[in-house]
């Protein structure tokens, strides 16, 4: 499994001296009589990989949905890049530099890989309705520039040149997950929210995805918030880990600190030898 480079660690140490890029403060979220999140707070430093772990139903995806404004918390605030985004419209979030992938693949299965990725860049397009409709002048030049950027940077980074013209629905699951990451990167994010990017992958696909996430973090300087059940991945690539259980935060710290936390072992994996093994103890 890949690990952060010395250059990446140095950049992360420098970023740690700055104000947090993301501040989640006292978030409460209810669905009827169910408390999905109860007073969850944490900070994400610029340049870090922040993992969020916990059992199914702990509220992990709810946190991402609150950051993206898909869900509207009943209490608390979310500050991104120095701006309170708790009240902004959902459709304006992407333009701020927040991109995400989903637990279940959300791609246009009848479109090609390249066209799916280009859709991620749509939020940054500036050509008008008329020029875009007839595909002339400014619209054509802008799309050609976007295509070149995607092919030279994103497709090369994620090693998907050979499939760029294929229809997404014909691709294996692991490659579709890679295309979804590519589409998120086309949004030029400052922070990337990844909801179980390794779910359903075999060992080789998991190692590739972990390597890509590290490359995006280290080479492009993109901050990552990662929900993941693969504890090997979490322990290997994360700078900090938040642990949720029944909608509350029960622990936070470095992977090593969290792996030794008795509350985490009991609540997340169960207090038995198998659980200790999963956490690398």
Q: List the domains of the chain with CATH numbers.
A: 1-97+189-281 (3.40.50.300), 110-186 (no CATH)
Instruction: Over range 207-219, report the average pLDDT.
Output: 96
pLDDT of residue 91: 87
- Residue 243 belongs to what H/E stretch? strand 240-245
Tens digits of residue pLDDT in 187-207: 899 999 999 999 889 999 999
Tens digits of residue pLDDT in 135-156: 555 666 666 776 677 777 899 9
- Residue 180 belongs to what H/E stretch? helix 173-185
pLDDT of residue 7: 47
For the CA atoms of 79, 224, 14, 215, what is the dihedral angle to 10 degrees? Answer: -160
- Residue 25 belongs to what H/E stretch? strand 22-31
pLDDT of residue 131: 47
**Whole-number Å distance between alpha carbons of 121 and 106:** 16
Tell me phi and psi for residue 201, to 5 degrees. Answer: -95, 155
When pLDDT is cut at 50, 70 and 90, the band that residue 265 belongs to is confident
pLDDT of residue 3: 56
Question: Please, what is the Cα angle at 4 between 19 and 220, to 5 degrees?
Answer: 60
**Whole-number Å distance between alpha carbons of 180 and 168:** 10
**Whole-number Å distance between alpha carbons of 86 and 253:** 25
For residue 280, the 8-state DSSP code is T
Q: How many CB atoms lie within 10 A of CB 197?
A: 26
Tens digits of residue pLDDT in 36-75: 999 999 999 999 999 999 988 899 999 999 999 999 999 9
């Amino acid at each position: 499994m890949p690990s952060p480079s010395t250059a990446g660690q140095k950049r992360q140490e420098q970023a740690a001296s700055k104000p947090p890029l993301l501040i989640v403060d006292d978030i409460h979220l209810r669905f009827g009589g169910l408390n999905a999140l109860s007073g969850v707070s944490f900070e994400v430093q610029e340049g870090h990989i922040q993992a969020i772990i916990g059992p199914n139903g702990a509220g992990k995806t709810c946190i991402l949905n609150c950051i993206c404004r898909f869900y509207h918390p009943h209490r608390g605030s979310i500050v991104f890049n120095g701006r309170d985004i708790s009240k902004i419209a959902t459709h304006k979030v992407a333009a701020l530099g927040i991109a995400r992938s989903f637990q279940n693949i959300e791609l246009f299965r009848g479109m090609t890989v390249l066209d799916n990725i280009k859709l991620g860049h749509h939020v940054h397009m500036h050509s008008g309705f008329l020029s875009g409709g007839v595909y002339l002048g400014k619209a054509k030049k802008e799309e050609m520039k976007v295509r070149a950027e995607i092919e030279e940077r994103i497709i090369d980074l994620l090693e998907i040149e050979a499939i760029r013209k294929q229809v997404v629905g014909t691709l294996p699951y692991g490659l579709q997950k890679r295309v979804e990451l590519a589409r998120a990167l086309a949004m030029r994010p400052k922070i990337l929210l990844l909801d179980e990017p390794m779910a359903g992958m075999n060992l080789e696909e998991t190692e590739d995805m972990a390597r890509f996430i590290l490359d995006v973090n280290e080479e492009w300087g993109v901050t990552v918030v990662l929900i993941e059940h693969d504890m090997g991945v979490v322990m290997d690539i994360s700078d900090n880990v938040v642990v949720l259980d029944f909608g509350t935060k029960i622990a936070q710290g470095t992977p090593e600190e969290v792996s030794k936390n008795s509350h985490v072992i009991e609540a997340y994996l169960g207090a038995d030898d198998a659980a200790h093994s999963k956490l690398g103890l």
